[in-house]
Structure 1
Amino acid sequence: MSPLDISPHLGPLYRDHHRFLHGWLRRKLGCSFEAADLTHDTFLRLLMAPPERCADIAKPRSFLTTIARRVMVDHFRRQALERAYLDVLAQQPEALAPSPEERALLLETLIEIDAMLDRLNPKARQAFLLSQLEGLSYADIALRLDVSVSSVKKYMAKAIEHCLLFQHEH
């Protein structure tokens, strides 16, 4: 079975609009190769979605550009994360620099953590990061976020639950 057999609607969507989407992304990105990659990623995202998501779409081009915009945002976010990671690595003494394999694994892990944190609501994400990265107490986090300590406790419980579920899934 080919991937396009999974959804009877995805094959025609791909056939009829692939060229349009690639052109649209090429104009946005200014690079045919990146546009091809993101076009592929857009259809891959649809392939992984429930089949009914591609059924009876009134405006397929609008639908595809919406999905492609989300894919582009994820792509830019990954690039920014990778640049930040490489900047930190460049500041390390050469003797401490990880091997290319370790760098790839670390970057992949950072991207997964970023995706996981992105699924949290903004206050819970911010509370979690303030706690884990800056070592702030719940009272300090409450002051920083202008919420009660009990709200911070709820945010942290939600964030920790989210991390545990994510870890279990992966």
Structure 2
Amino acid sequence: MTTQTIGNGAQELTRLYQDHHPWLLKWLEKRVQDRLQAEDHAHDTFLSVIAANETSNLHEPRAYLVTIAKRLLVNHWRRATIEQAYLERLAAYPEQKAPSPEENAVILETLREIDDLLCQLPAKVRKAFLMAQLDGLTYAEIGRQLGVSDRMVRKYMAQAMLQCLLAGF
């Protein structure tokens, strides 16, 4: 990896894209095994760079791009896992009870929104909430697994539920 400094502005952003897009695309292709998906992730990576507006004095552009791309891949794989779990449960429903394609789209979008919301919570708060809601664990069981008191689990749950309420869930 070569060290080079990238300044701010449209010219520097263009140079960053021209110098590193082909390399990033190959890097992503190795990980996702799909050219179109790799192109989407490369595009999203550069959109994140633009949104972050942090290209001034960027000494390790490849490391910076890989960090962003890895985060995007993890989010993609996590969402794909959530969607797959939903679709597997849906397949178990009798056909007459299955939601329509429109309802399916709304449900999947809601799951994505909930996932985004949960990702904003501190790790222990998110884990406690998921253990209670998905695994049906008691606060005492959650506390033992997380190594915290029941009282702390109650605080975590209150924090998570407040965020859900504020987000309209």
TM-score between both structures, scaled by the size of structure 2: 0.82
Give the number of aligned pairs.
161
Higher relative contact order (CA 8 A, sep 6+): 2
Instruction: Give 1:27's aligned residue.
Output: 30
Tell me by how many angstroms 1:106 deviates.
0.8
Structure 1 vs Structure 2: percent identity of aligned residues?
47
Q: In the superposition, relative to structure 1, how do residues 7 and 155 fare at CA in structure 2: closer, same or farther (>3 Å)?
A: farther
For 1:102 and 1:7, the matched residues in 2 are separated by 44
Instruction: Give 2:76's aligned residue.
Output: 75
TM-score between both structures, scaled by the size of structure 1: 0.81
Amino acid corresponding to residue 18 of structure 1 in structure 2 = H
Q: Which runs of 5+ in 1 are unaligned?
A: 1-5
1:147-166 equivalence runs, <5 A: 147-165=148-166
Instruction: Give 2:109's aligned residue.
Output: 108
Instruction: Give 1:130's aligned residue.
Output: 131
Tell me by how many angstroms 1:115 deviates.
2.2
Amino acid corresponding to residue 13 of structure 2 in structure 1 = L
1:99-152 deviation digits (Å, cap 9, x = unpaired): 112111211111221222122223212222233345555445434544212211
Q: Which has more helix, going by share of residues?
A: 1
Tell me by how many angstroms 1:90 deviates.
0.6
* Deviation larger for 13-22 or 134-143: 134-143
For 2:70 and 2:110, the matched residues in 1 are separated by 24
RMSD: 2.4
